[in-house]
Amino acid sequence: MTLKLTDIVLTYPDGDRTLTALDHVDLTVERGEFTAVVGPSGSGKSSLLAVAATLITPVSGTVSVAGHEVSGASQAARTRLRREHIGIVFQQSNLLASLTALDQLLVMADLSGRSTREAAVRARELLAAMDLSDKEDKRPHQLSGGERQRVNIARALMNEPEVLLVDEPTSALDQHRGERIVSLLATLTKRNGLATVMVTHDLATLARVDTVLSMADGRLTAGPVDGASPEDGRPDRPSTSPTRHQATKNSSSSGARA
Ligand SMILES: Nc1ncnc2c1ncn2[C@@H]1O[C@H](COP(=O)(O)OP(=O)(O)OP(=O)(O)O)[C@@H](O)[C@H]1O
């Protein structure tokens, strides 16, 4: 199992009390599986991603990434694990303003000690896969919102991660560009064998994912919120299995504690 969170409890100090952001959460995502987490603001979605990214240590529970147990690992080991196995795409494009699209990717390779030649080949391949070959030399302000988000995704894939964590990828995009980004994520998940977790408010994008989970008050349960259909907003899409979103959670790989 590529990403496995078991019985995670995460709290934050809240004045003289403690706020439970994640309340005994289980999550398993296999390679090639695209999982979406939906839920209201403040329900714990970003906290879940941060724990999965090994950026925050939970009070209890275990995190395993690509077969590596995170609990008890040193800070240096976590950083290495993150660099080698996890790609993160943040909500807003956080590209460096002064760098070209190509250099945004090369910086990642530099941090992980890849050879410059090998990195340049991979970066160009990734930009081509994102349909950005003609934008290699463009800086962020010369790119559209959708193009910036595709550079973000390419950058997250630079070190060939097994796990891809994506926070609200469509929030700054119009519907068409948003759908294109999620479609791209779905394709990459299958093609690269990624275990992808996407936090989203955008129910229209759920038609492209394999599994939908809902966060509410720090608890993760199977299925979309309020009975919303994953096909909402995409009536023309060929349906793979409308009921799988519910079934997957309860029966097999992805575990969410109800
Ligand atoms: N660093 C922090 N310190 C204290 N409380 C926090 C911190 N980060 C998040 N919280 C609280 O934890 C709860 C879960 O927050 P989180 O950001 O994970 O939710 P979310 O579902 O991602 O929300 P949104 O959709 O608005 O981003 C909220 O009540 C939030 O106020």
Q: Looking at ligand 1, which residue's alpha carbon is closest to its atom 2?
A: 12
Judge if the beta carbon of residue 21 lies within 6 A of ligand 1: yes
- Whether 78 is covered by a domain: the verdict is yes
- Whether 46 is covered by a domain: the verdict is yes
- In tens, the pLDDT along 194-209 reads 999 999 988 888 999 9
Check: pTM over 0.80? Answer yes or no. Answer: yes
Q: What are phi and psi of 47, to 5 degrees?
A: -60, -40
More confident residue, 232 or 152: 152
Looking only at the bridges linking them, the beta strands covering 211-216 and 219-222 are antiparallel
- Whether 176 is covered by a domain: the verdict is yes
Q: For residue 38, what is the domain's CATH number?
A: 3.40.50.300
Compute how many other C-beta atoms are within 10 angstroms of the C-beta atom of residue 170: 25
- Whether 100 is covered by a domain: the verdict is no
Contact by Cβ (8 Å): 153, 89: yes
Instruction: Mark out the alpha helices in the chain (DSSP H runs).
Output: 45-52, 75-85, 101-111, 116-129, 145-157, 175-191, 244-251
Of 33, 28, 34, nearest to 206 (Cα)?
Answer: 34
Q: Looking at ligand 1, which residue's alpha carbon is closest to its atom 12?
A: 21
Q: Looking at ligand 1, which residue's alpha carbon is closest to its atom 3?
A: 12
Mean pLDDT value across residues 207-218: 95
- Whether 223 is covered by a domain: the verdict is yes
- In tens, the pLDDT along 86-140 reads 999 987 667 899 999 999 999 887 766 667 788 899 999 999 988 899 999 999 9
pLDDT band at 252 (very low <50, low <70, confident <90, very high): very low
Helix (H, G, I), strand (E, B) or coil at 8: strand
Which of 56-60, 154-158, 186-190, 238-242 comes out lowest in average pLDDT?
A: 238-242
Judge if the beta carbon of residue 46 lies within 6 A of ligand 1: yes
Full residue range of the structural domain in which residue 222 is found: 3-95+157-251
Mean pLDDT value across residues 183-194: 93
Q: What is the ipTM of this complex?
A: 0.97
Judge if the beta carbon of residue 188 lies within 6 A of ligand 1: no
Judge if the beta carbon of residue 50 lies within 6 A of ligand 1: no
Of 97, 91, 169, 167, nearest to 130 (Cα)?
Answer: 169
Number of compact structural domains in the chain: 1
pLDDT band at 1 (very low <50, low <70, confident <90, very high): low
Judge if the beta carbon of residue 39 lies within 6 A of ligand 1: yes
Expressed in angstroms and rounded, the spacing between residue 155 Cα and the centre of ligand 1 is 26
- In tens, the pLDDT along 163-180 reads 999 999 888 788 888 888
- Whether 118 is covered by a domain: the verdict is no
Does the structure show a pLDDT above 70 at 234?
no
Expressed in angstroms and rounded, the spacing between residue 44 Cα and the centre of ligand 1 is 6
Q: Looking at ligand 1, which residue's alpha carbon is closest to its atom 18?
A: 44
Judge if the beta carbon of residue 217 lies within 6 A of ligand 1: no
- In tens, the pLDDT along 23-82 reads 999 999 999 999 999 999 999 999 999 999 999 999 999 999 999 999 888 889 999 999
Expressed in angstroms and rounded, the spacing between residue 22 Cα and the centre of ligand 1 is 10
- Whether 50 is covered by a domain: the verdict is yes
- At 93 the pLDDT is 67
Judge if the beta carbon of residue 49 lies within 6 A of ligand 1: no
Secondary structure of 18-61 in the HEC alphabet? EEEEEEEEEEEECCCEEEEEECCCCCCHHHHHHHHCCCCCCCEE
- At 47 the pLDDT is 96
- Whether 144 is covered by a domain: the verdict is no
Judge if the beta carbon of residue 241 lies within 6 A of ligand 1: no
Expressed in angstroms and rounded, the spacing between residue 13 Cα and the centre of ligand 1 is 12
Judge if the beta carbon of residue 74 lies within 6 A of ligand 1: no
